[in-house]
Chains A and B, each alone.
Chain A
Amino acid sequence: MLSRRLERGSTSVALAFAVFLVIMTVVTVYIFWAKVWWFPAAINDIGHEIDAQFMRTLLITGIVFVAAQLGLAYVIFKYRDQGQKAASFEGNNTMEIVWTLATIVLFVGLGLYARNAWAQVHFTDAAPGALQIEVTGQQFVWNFRYAGPDGKFGREKPELVSASTGNPVGLDPTDPASKDDVVSPVIAVPAGREVELVIRSQDVTHSFFVRELRLKQDAVPGMEIHMHFTANDPGDYEIVCAQLCGLGHYRMHSVLSVMSEADFQKWMRDQEAANQ
């Protein structure tokens, strides 16, 4: 008989491992459960739907997480080497088939279920009459352009872009439609009205991220990407850049102000007046 050597299954190590897994699992579950750090409340309907899908996913992954970690803790402790003889089974086809099918149903089902929230934002266009706002990212600011009273966005030319002289998006003054366009470093939108963003970038890839809208969209040079949302709750919400865009990435910041329709009309008039 060959001699067994070195250390064998030590009860203290097995216990320590099992206890560690239990503590890690409990702490993790607690922090998720208690929502110690959590997303801010959503301000649009789709945000609530996304949150519901998040909770569904959290429930399923949470159950799998707890079962797997505690299962591991159990087998580690239960089957530590105490001089017993190990079992010799090599597998079980029925079990393989069962858990393969079960995970397919669970994971793919979850993915199919998530379609709704995605489709509402991305498979449909904004309704006609939505307020159109052009979002332009550039190192390291956001600019927002409104079409003004004429409802038309004027022409822009790259060679006219000059942040230092107050034309950050390169409006062409020779185009009559551009005369009343309003360009603002913050974005104001009326509550309850659909807004369509036309997201673009002048230089490198940025990403428009508003937590409360559960919305993130890269601003890609050479592309105009349309997104739409309806914000319900008035307030100021921070906009950050989520795609690495250079050394000022961390300070590429702006504010989304959701206002009542009346406040928004007033804000718009003030901007237009300042534009004259």
Chain B
Amino acid sequence: MVTHENGGGHGQHQPPSGFIRKYVFSVDHKVIGIQYLTLALFSVFVGMALSLLMRLHLAWPNTHWFFFKGGLMTPEQYLALVTMHGTIMIFMVLTTAPQSGYGNYFLPIQIGAADMAFPVINMLSFWTTFVSLMVMVAAFFVAGGAPLGGWTSYPPLSALGEITGPGQGAGETLWIVGLAIFCAASLMGALNFITTLIDLRAKGMTLGRLPLTCWTWLVTAILGLLAFGVLLAACILLLLDRIAGTSFFIPGGLVITDQVITWHKGGSPLLWQHLFWFFGHPEVYIAILPGMGVTSHLLSTFARKPVFGYRAMVGAVCAIGFLGFCVWGHHMFVSGMSPYSAFAFSILTMTIGVPSAIKTFNWLGTLWGGKIEFNCAMLFALGFVSLFVSGGLSGLFLAQPSLDLYLHDTYFVIAHFHLIMGVAAIFGMFAGAYFWFPKMFGKFLNEGIGKVHFWLTFAGVYCIFMPMHFLGLAGHPRRYFDASAVTFLQKLQPVHVFMTIAAIVTIAAQLLFLYNIIWSLIAGKEAKEENPWHATTLEWSIPSPPPHDNFGGVEPVVYHGPYEFSVPGAADDFIPQHLAPNLVRKA
């Protein structure tokens, strides 16, 4: 029998029968996981549409488009797109899908639990996230439109209201409120993940037998718990500055378009930057760590080899998590922060390259001597490794304050973080999608469409983001509406055109993915076997899709490590974690 208690207070494991309780306000972690993934899928298409508008404008600034009033984009519209693209992608896609989506669905199953520790809180955190998305998106529809301050929302630009620009009034307020709600949702989620992983592991599921996916979900949850609390506080302070006349972030003596601001004194714009980046840097790892977990998991599964250096991988994930809290100052090298602090942050940041390099070495070590199968899941996992290397190395430039003096706030930075936290993390999600879809829905995603999707996306993202490095080297500042005012930007225009064409192709390829999901749900190949990939972890020991209580009321017992592939002396090239030693067939 399942012995653990459901925090939500419903002790039985019968599925609810009503539609609302089953699919809308469900407390089943699997339904909630799919809800999160659906929210992220919706958001990623919104975010991509916004980036497409930006790219069209940047490539052809004087072309009239029917979707803009008067045919042309205005600077405030462009900056609203900048803000909302970043916000939606970072919070609603990169934070929700890898952790709250896949983590919700598979963490309990991979550790042998019937549900999350607090199912009702789990439901609450999803619906709170949903409300947060609605509030943020509402910013588009209020007077002045969405805020133009970027996803970092630096005060005083973000603190003084409409006087600093359109979108900085009601739009900015909604943005802050939406973000604060998101923080609350993420805190609930983080608590739930940590408790679940610590308390609800099945018998035999020691820490040393945890799949690396679970390790990354755990460390990500800890990062979320420590980081989102700080962002929540920062959002509240910023809101108070806006609506209650406080001055946490606003110094005295400001003059905005000849109007003296007399009612604010004594605040510090740098305080916001410290609070924001104390959250913001760990957030980068919140986005990427689960992708690393999925990649490690898949490389091992489809190379039919144990993960190379499992302990080193766990150590590296923990080191990245810890160091992630010690490096936020590298976002502030030109902010006016003490140059001595900058130097310290720089060395700590260079240090974080070490566990990242360890992971890359170990991924190559995992593939070395393997027997690699190239299905779509594996292709995306391999793509992750390539993108992680490409995106990570530019970090070594930005981590040095003397080089950052030039590169800060240029397209070089955009190239860096899009490759590593944007695209690499998304590749982790795609890998997870092709891998777990048969478990979640009992049907395979179509491999043929998937291959086309992979190649267009892989080539596309390199064509979009590699050239951005060169714009950055040429000194192109980011968040620029157009190049008209600056002479040296004008000869860079062909690069913008090239990137926009690449973006159009890449975005079109994502429609293939959407089509693949819909087509496969309706007419996809049935996943009849419980374990079609011959994988080892517990989700492959139960039917596809899994029953309401996952293991049919029986708590599984774990006998093996997570990556026992090609074990000498065994008949099969994989040993599932739940297989009793006497059942392992000898060669």
Contacts and interface: CB of A to CB of B under 8 A. Distances in A.
A67 B74 CA distance: 45
B312 A91 contact: yes
A93 B579 CA distance: 28
Contacts of B270: 220, 223
Given A7-B373, A28-B466, A243 B386 contact: no
Contact of A8 (B347, B373, B399, B474): B373
Contacts of A6: 373, 375, 447, 532
A218 B335 contact: yes
Contacts of A158: 253-255, 260
Contacts of A14: 372, 374
Contacts of A69: 386, 389-390
Interface stretch (A105-113, A181-189, A267-275): A105-113
From A60, A84, A204, residue with most partner B Cβ within 10 Å: A204
B80 to A, nearest CB: 10
B252 A222 contact: yes
B369 A87 contact: yes
A59 to B, nearest CB: 11
A163 B334 contact: no
Interface residues of A, number: 114
B367 interface: yes
Interface string A50-91: 100110011011001100110110011001111011111111
Contact of B267 (A96, A123, A222, A246): A222
A115 B343 CA distance: 7
A251 B485 contact: yes
B368 A79 contact: yes
Contacts of B414: none
A193 interface: no
A184 B74 CA distance: 29
B541 to A, nearest CB: 14
From A14, A87, A90, A202, residue with most partner B Cβ within 10 Å: A90
B255 A202 contact: yes
Contacts of A20: 458-459
B268 interface: yes
Interface stretch (B38-46, B101-109, B349-357): B349-357
Interface stretch (B1-9, B285-293, B358-366): B358-366
Contacts of A114: 346, 400-403
Interface in B384-399: 385-386, 389-390, 393-394, 396-397, 399
Nearest to A39: B473
A7 B447 contact: yes
Interface string A190-224: 00000000000011110101010011111011110
Nearest to B167: A247
Contacts of B369: 79, 86-87, 89
B471 to A, nearest CB: 7
Nearest to B265: A222
B385 A72 contact: yes
B405 to A, nearest CB: 5
Contacts of B160: 204
Interface stretch (A143-151, A172-180, A234-242): A234-242
Contacts of A99: 357-358, 361
A276 interface: no
Contact of B372 (A9, A16, A31): A9
Given A72-B382, A104-B351, A164-B258, A250 B403 contact: no
Contact of B405 (A84, A86, A215): A215
B480 A249 contact: yes
A265 interface: no
A209 B166 CA distance: 25
Interface string B144-184: 00001110001011001000111000000000000000000
B17 interface: no
Contacts of A21: 386
A40 B495 CA distance: 17
B443 interface: no
Contacts of B486: 238, 240, 250, 253
Interface stretch (B186-194, B225-233, B237-245, B568-576): B568-576
A136 B351 CA distance: 37
Contacts of B451: 13
B336 interface: yes
A33 interface: no
Given A65-B393, A99-B358, A253-B485, A88 B305 contact: yes
Given A79-B371, A107-B351, A247-B76, A2 B396 contact: no
Contact of A84 (B343, B371, B483): B371
Interface in B449-471: 451, 455, 458-459, 462, 466, 470-471
Contacts of A71: 364
A53 B396 contact: no
From B267, B339, B485, residue with most partner A Cβ within 10 Å: B485
Contacts of B374: 7, 9-10, 13-14, 17, 80-81
Nearest to A159: B260
B477 A53 contact: no
Nearest to A13: B374
Interface string A40-56: 10000000011001100
B492 interface: yes
A247 B255 CA distance: 17
B21 interface: no
Given A244-B149, A250-B75, A209 B477 contact: yes
B164 A38 contact: no
B303 interface: yes
Contacts of B471: 37
Nearest to A210: B475
A222 B251 contact: yes
A76 B75 contact: no
A121 interface: yes
A244 B414 CA distance: 14
Nearest to B163: A203
A126 interface: no
Nearest to B409: A242
Given A68-B360, A205-B154, 16 more contacts: A4-B534, A13-B451, A50-B402, A76-B382, A81-B372, A108-B347, A111-B350, A118-B402, A121-B402, A139-B257, A207-B409, A218-B336, A221-B269, A244-B154, A249-B79, A249-B481
